[in-house]
């Protein structure tokens, strides 16, 4: 058997218009590929070395094409010299083309030129991925983390070009010598936005403490803030000593707290008005944002678009004074629709996927980005290996019964419950699933070759620190052999036993996480691809693309057992190598977000990275973390997706974004119209 020569489900994606659908029914993954090409009455179907020639006589003729051990059905229809080939199941179709005759459909024109825009004068219209959600000014209710990056809200620090922190709402800080606590000084004289005629005065330390405590799941257990669990793992309650002073104690010290968790570059919180919450009530602030950014909400239509305007007068920080008075943000989930809107001039700037961006003339459309790419990889949920709470009020107490160990799931290692060798067996199966993925092909076909292969999530293979020792080769034959070598006592589901794995075959679902627009975006395509590679080695696969709001409680509650495609907190190429990694892979974040697995080894390594006295020590611990997660095959990467916007030079003069790791749209105050 030579599975390396077997086809994969999306080989033609870079060659022509392609429709790929993973259907969760029947005995196998079903893929439909439709391509229109000009041919010389010859169709080659690649099995191992088998090539069949098809002679087309009548429109709609059905013929049978045989590969090595696979029999596929090809439906060929003819109209003039154009042939449409529809192939069902995993088949690579190679077409021998002749020069296009004069009567055929002309080849596509050159690169897309910038049109005259139809957007309002004085307004920049931007199409972003996904939906824009609702106007929400309450941290615990999951107010948009990006408000600080858009310019509506602000947080404590910003990121300098040399990766050091710049003061923003905070002016300075001091950490205790024993790393147990910190004191932060707050800028005075920052006015809150006036909303519907309501003036809430100037920001004080009380507003900062309120905003953090409202988001932190330790101080507000009902909080569903995006970093509720991260904050819980870092510190307890924040206290306003006076109008300009904040103090707090670290639950677990992280040397990058000022560079990440309270910084516009990272996973920070928005500072909202405590007075607005107290005077107007929780329901009111859920529907109205009262913050201090240079822009203020003018109109917000839930899940469709919102418009922000420059606040009257001069912003308290002159360098953040907006260069454009009005900006409209439109949520457009479908990537091709965003490209079409930019092409027709209905928007001035759009977030484009690489395969679409390659069609635009770079002399007429300018790329802008905070500098990062989003790493997408497979995180194997359900491997909960800690036995006690690592922090918080429950520190040292036994964890509740782990639901993920109830059934013997192949990729989940449960210590002792399903046999003494279950941990090693599950590790081997995760390794097999990791080497079944052709990362180079994913990059070439889904990302137009513009991305970067990722072998282990959180680590950039372009970094000088990367040695090449932690790569996953594409080896489907090896994957089959590795699974066949295991004891097949695990839960198999309804997987077919007729494939290369026989009685060792099992069923697996892969969920497309929320990054880059979720299942409707490139994230969903990567999930389809991974499912297809796993189907190629004989697994029964399902690609799941339902709402992240529905999925998220399973990772918060540590009940998810599905592998999922995600960047999982730190999967950004712009994050420095030595930054602490693994916080959301420990019980320190119980009650908040998680990658879906927990490990006492990761807990120890995270603490070493976080508490490292210098960059060299942090790098050493980061390298040990890399060794561990690679050995355990917990988070094999797939591809890093450039996360960039492109603007029409006829409407926008310049838009240099400030550097940031955890957002793709940053510092809108820098945007300048022609």
d(CA 226, CA 210): 16
pLDDT given at position 312: 76
Residue 101 placed within a domain: no
pLDDT given at position 602: 98
CA nearest neighbour of 220 among 122, 141, 112, 134: 141
Question: CATH code at 161?
Answer: 3.90.76.10
Residue 337 placed within a domain: yes
- Locus of tokens 């992240």: 548
Backbone CA torsion sign across 150, 299, 212, 198: positive
pLDDT band at 336; cut points 50, 70, 90: very high
Q: Do residue 363 and residue 443 come from a single domain?
A: no
pLDDT given at position 662: 87
pLDDT given at position 105: 33
Tell me phi and psi for residue 421, to 5 degrees.
-95, 10
- Calculate mean pLDDT across residues 501-513: 98
Residue 664 placed within a domain: yes
- Locus of tokens 């390659």: 358
Distances in whole angstroms, Cα of residue 567 to Cα of each of 261, 310, 373, 645? 17, 33, 10, 19
Q: In angstroms, what is the C-alpha Rg of the chain? A: 27
Q: 277-307, pLDDT tens digit by residue?
A: 999 999 999 999 999 999 999 999 999 999 9
The answer to whether residue 114 scores a pLDDT higher than 70 is yes
pLDDT given at position 476: 98
Of residues 471 and 78, more confidently modeled: 471
Residue 540 placed within a domain: yes
CA nearest neighbour of 376 among 450, 473, 479, 454: 454
The answer to whether residue 91 scores a pLDDT higher than 80 is no
CA nearest neighbour of 81 among 99, 94, 65, 60: 99
pLDDT given at position 540: 98
The secondary element (H helix, E strand) that includes residue 167 is: strand 165-167
Q: 379-424, pLDDT tens digit by residue?
A: 999 999 999 999 888 999 999 999 999 999 999 999 988 988 999 9
Q: 532-548, pLDDT tens digit by residue?
A: 999 999 999 999 999 99
Strands 540-544 and 507-512: parallel
Half-sphere exposure of 535 (CA within 13 A, CB side): 29
Q: Do residue 476 and residue 500 come from a single domain?
A: yes
Residue 198 placed within a domain: yes
pLDDT given at position 656: 96
Which of 143-170 are b and which e, b meaning 16 or more Cβ less than 10 Å from the residue's Cβ? bbbbbbbbbbbbbbbbbeeeeebeebbb
pLDDT band at 3; cut points 50, 70, 90: very low
293 and 147 Cβ atoms separated by less than 8 Å? yes
Q: What is the DSSP string of 400-459?
A: PP-GGGSS--TT---TBTTBTTHHHHHHHHHHHHHHT--HHHHHHHHSTT-SEE-SBTT-
pLDDT given at position 435: 98
Q: Do residue 464 and residue 480 come from a single domain?
A: yes
Q: Do residue 422 and residue 523 come from a single domain?
A: yes
Last residue of a domain, one of 67, 95, 123: 95
133 and 145 Cβ atoms separated by less than 8 Å? no
Cα–Cα–Cα angle for 468, 471, 473, nearest 5°?
A: 130
Q: Do residue 400 and residue 459 come from a single domain?
A: yes
d(CA 320, CA 30): 52
pLDDT given at position 161: 82
d(CA 649, CA 651): 5
d(CA 366, CA 349): 9
Q: Do residue 380 and residue 412 come from a single domain?
A: yes
- Calculate mean pLDDT across residues 199-221: 97
425 and 418 Cβ atoms separated by less than 8 Å? no
Of residues 466 and 32, more confidently modeled: 466
Question: CATH code at 530?
Answer: 3.10.105.10
pLDDT given at position 37: 33
124 and 76 Cβ atoms separated by less than 8 Å? no
200 and 187 Cβ atoms separated by less than 8 Å? no
Residue 70 placed within a domain: yes
CB atoms inside a 10 Å sphere around CB 11: 20
The answer to whether residue 560 scores a pLDDT higher than 70 is yes
CA nearest neighbour of 560 among 440, 432, 418, 384: 384
pLDDT given at position 320: 94
Strands 62-66 and 71-79: antiparallel
d(CA 639, CA 97): 31
Query: Cα 246 to chain center, whole Å?
Result: 33
CA nearest neighbour of 148 among 559, 671, 663: 663
d(CA 150, CA 140): 20
22 and 542 Cβ atoms separated by less than 8 Å? yes
Q: Do residue 664 and residue 556 come from a single domain?
A: no
124 and 327 Cβ atoms separated by less than 8 Å? yes
180 and 247 Cβ atoms separated by less than 8 Å? no
- Locus of tokens 């029999």: 71
- Calculate mean pLDDT across residues 302-324: 92
pLDDT given at position 340: 98
Half-sphere exposure of 87 (CA within 13 A, CB side): 29
Residue 165 placed within a domain: yes
pLDDT band at 109; cut points 50, 70, 90: low
Distances in whole angstroms, Cα of residue 391 to Cα of each of 218, 227, 322, 388, 546? 11, 16, 43, 9, 32
Q: How much of the chain exceeds pLDDT 70, in percent?
A: 84
**Burial (0-12, 13-18, 19+ Cβ within 10 Å), 213:** buried
Q: Do residue 395 and residue 464 come from a single domain?
A: yes
Q: Do residue 469 and residue 540 come from a single domain?
A: yes
Give the chain's mean pLDDT.
85
* Structural domain for 422, as ranges: 373-642
pLDDT given at position 338: 97
Q: 578-588, pLDDT tens digit by residue?
A: 899 999 999 99
Structural domain count, the chain: 4
d(CA 521, CA 543): 13
Q: 603-654, pLDDT tens digit by residue?
A: 999 999 999 988 889 999 999 999 999 999 999 999 999 889 999 999 999 9
3-state secondary structure 649-671: CCCEEECCCCCCCCCCCCCHHHC
d(CA 293, CA 192): 8
The answer to whether residue 64 scores a pLDDT higher than 50 is no
d(CA 350, CA 344): 12
pLDDT given at position 643: 85
Q: Do residue 444 and residue 497 come from a single domain?
A: yes
CB atoms inside a 10 Å sphere around CB 122: 9
- Locus of tokens 């005629």: 197
Query: Cα 113 to chain center, whole Å?
Result: 30
355 and 446 Cβ atoms separated by less than 8 Å? yes
Which of 419-456 are b and which e, b meaning 16 or more Cβ less than 10 Å from the residue's Cβ? eeebbebbbbbbbbbbbbbbbebbbbbbbbebbbbbbb
The answer to whether residue 12 scores a pLDDT higher than 70 is no
d(CA 270, CA 262): 9
CA nearest neighbour of 354 among 109, 641, 664: 641
Q: How much of the chain exceeds pLDDT 90, in percent?
A: 73
Q: Do residue 347 and residue 384 come from a single domain?
A: no
Q: 172-204, pLDDT tens digit by residue?
A: 999 999 999 999 999 999 999 999 999 999 999
Q: Do residue 574 and residue 638 come from a single domain?
A: yes
Residue 148 placed within a domain: no
CB atoms inside a 10 Å sphere around CB 341: 18
């Amino acid at each position: 058997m030579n599975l390396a020569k077997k086809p994969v489900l999306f080989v033609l994606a870079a060659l022509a218009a392609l429709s790929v659908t993973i259907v969760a029914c029947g005995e196998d993954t079903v893929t439909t590929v439709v391509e229109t090409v000009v041919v010389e009455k010859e169709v080659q179907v690649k099995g191992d070395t088998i090539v069949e020639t098809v002679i087309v006589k009548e429109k709609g003729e059905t013929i049978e094409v045989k590969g090595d051990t696979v029999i596929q059905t090809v439906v060929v229809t003819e109209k003039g010299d154009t042939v449409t080939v529809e192939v069902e199941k995993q088949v690579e179709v190679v077409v021998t083309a002749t020069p296009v005759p004069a009567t055929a459909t002309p080849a596509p024109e050159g690169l897309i030129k910038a049109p005259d825009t139809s957007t309002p004068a004085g307004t920049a219209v931007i199409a972003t991925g996904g939906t824009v959600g609702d106007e929400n000014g309450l941290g615990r209710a999951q107010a948009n983390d990006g408000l600080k990056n858009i310019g509506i809200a602000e947080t404590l620090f910003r990121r300098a070009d040399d990766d050091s922190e710049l003061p923003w709402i905070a002016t300075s800080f001091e950490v205790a010598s024993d790393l147990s606590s910190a004191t932060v000084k707050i800028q005075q004289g920052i006015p809150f936005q006036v909303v519907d005629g309501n003036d809430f005065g100037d920001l004080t330390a009380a507003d900062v403490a309120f905003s953090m405590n409202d988001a932190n799941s330790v101080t507000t257990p009902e909080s569903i803030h995006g970093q509720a669990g991260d904050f819980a793992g870092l510190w307890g309650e924040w206290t306003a000593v006076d109008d300009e002073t904040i103090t707090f104690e670290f639950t677990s010290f992280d040397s990058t707290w000022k560079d990440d968790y309270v910084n516009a570059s990272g996973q920070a919180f928005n500072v909202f008005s405590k007075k607005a919450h107290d005077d107007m009530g929780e329901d009111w602030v859920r529907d109205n944002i009262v913050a201090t950014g240079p822009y203020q909400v003018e109109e917000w239509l839930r899940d469709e678009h919102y418009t922000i305007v420059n606040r009257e007068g001069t912003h308290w920080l002159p360098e953040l004074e907006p260069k454009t008075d009005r900006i409209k943000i439109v949520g457009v989930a479908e990537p091709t629709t965003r490209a079409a809107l930019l092409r027709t001039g209905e928007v001035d700037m759009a977030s484009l996927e690489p395969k679409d961006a390659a069609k635009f003339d770079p002399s007429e459309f300018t790329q802008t980005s905070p500098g990062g790419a989003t790493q997408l990889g497979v995180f194997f949920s359900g491997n909960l290996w800690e036995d006690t709470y690592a922090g918080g009020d429950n520190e040292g107490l036994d964890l509740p019964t782990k639901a993920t160990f109830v059934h013997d799931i192949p990729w989940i290692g449960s210590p002792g419950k399903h046999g003494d060798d279950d941990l090693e067996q599950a590790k081997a199966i995760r390794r097999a699933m990791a080497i079944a993925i052709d990362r180079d092909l994913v990059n070439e076909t889904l990302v137009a070759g513009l991305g970067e292969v990722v072998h282990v999530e959180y680590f950039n293979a372009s970094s000088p620190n990367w040695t090449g020792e932690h790569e996953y080769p594409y080896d489907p034959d090896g994957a089959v052999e590795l699974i066949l070598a295991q004891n097949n006592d695990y839960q198999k589901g309804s997987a077919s036993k007729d494939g290369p794995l026989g009685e060792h075959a099992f069923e697996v679902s892969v969920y497309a996480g929320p990054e880059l627009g979720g299942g409707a975006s490139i994230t969903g395509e990567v999930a389809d691809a991974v499912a297809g590679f796993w189907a190629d080695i004989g697994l029964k696969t399902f690609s799941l693309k339902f709402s992240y709001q529905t999925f998220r409680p399973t990772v918060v509650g540590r009940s998810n057992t599905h592998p999922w495609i995600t960047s999982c907190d730190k999967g950004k190429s712009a994050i420095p190598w030595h930054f602490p990694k693994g916080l959301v892979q420990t019980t320190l974040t119980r009650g908040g977000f998680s990658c879906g697995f927990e490990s006492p080894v990761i807990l120890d390594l995270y603490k070493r990275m976080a508490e490292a006295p210098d960059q060299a020590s942090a790098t050493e611990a980061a390298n040990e973390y890399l060794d561990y997660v690679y050995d355990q095959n917990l988070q094999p990467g797939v591809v890093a997706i450039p996360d960039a916007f492109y603007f029409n030079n006829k409407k926008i003069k310049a838009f240099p974004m400030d550097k940031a790791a955890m957002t793709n749209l940053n510092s809108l105050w820098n945007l300048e119209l022609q």
